[in-house]
Amino acid sequence: MHREALAADALVVAPYLLNKVIVHGERAARIVEVEAYQGAEDPASHAYRGRTARNATMFGPPGLLYVYFTYGMHWCANVVCGPEGSARAVLLRAASPLEGLCAMRKARPRARAVEDLCNGPAKLCQALGITGAANGVDLLGDGELRLVSDGVEPPDEPAVGPRVGVAAGAELPWRFWVPGSPSVSRPSSSAPTMGTVDRSGRRRKAHSSR
């Protein structure tokens, strides 16, 4: 991972981050779902209305981790991208556990299946132990938290769709995910990539109820 690759536009960096690995100490997971947020030009971005104490990290250089607190109980993590000051970022929505499964299960005792450990932006932070204390850390440095490549390339044709949980720009296909990954938070909201899809877009295997 080099910083220059993250200095591109969020719509370029987002699919580029698919299949990269987020590492926190002994824990590691492969990123399988992301969303692009376009700074001042994006009504859904925390930076839409300018710089505040909360979103200050987004205005920093590419490669920083922007962590925010929401719904009174959840942390979510973004990779800052674009040129410094552009306040663009990519939300890490879901990942596939690679290492440190024990620690992840300890952090998320409610999760049953492995694919449920990191299949959501807040679940991912919970499983990896990412909190507000990590806001502003450099993911390309030599700290506990790092963003690395293990050689697995992004998908040739990532699945795309509208972002989750945002009213503004609901028509924009700014969510990207690895087609067919069992760890994606919402496998499909429009076009199925594998098997059949029910009305709410959740995966469903023929004749089975899990």
Which residues of the shown chain bind DNA in the complex (CB under 7 A)? 35, 37, 44-47, 49, 52-55, 58, 68-74, 76, 78, 89, 91, 108, 110-111, 116, 120-124, 163-166, 185, 198-200, 202, 204, 208-210
The distance of closest approach from Cβ of residue 23 to DNA in the complex, given in angstroms and rounded to an integer, is: 19
Please say which residue, 150 or 165, places its beta carbon nearer to DNA: 165
Q: Which residues on neighbouring strands pair with residue 165, listed in sequence order?
A: none
Q: Are 134 and 106 in contact (CB under 8 A)?
A: no
Q: State the nearest-atom distance from the C-beta of 57 to DNA, in Å.
A: 10
Give the shortest CB-5-to-DNA separation in angstroms: 19
Compare residues 2 and 199 and give the one whose CB is closer to DNA.
Answer: 199
Residue 134 Cβ vs DNA, minimum distance, rounded to whole Å: 14
Q: Let me know: does 66 contact 51? Beta carbons within 8 Å.
A: no
Buried b / exposed e over 118-157, threshold 16 CB at 10 Å, is bbbbbbbbbbbbbeeebbebbbbeeeebbbeeeeeebbee
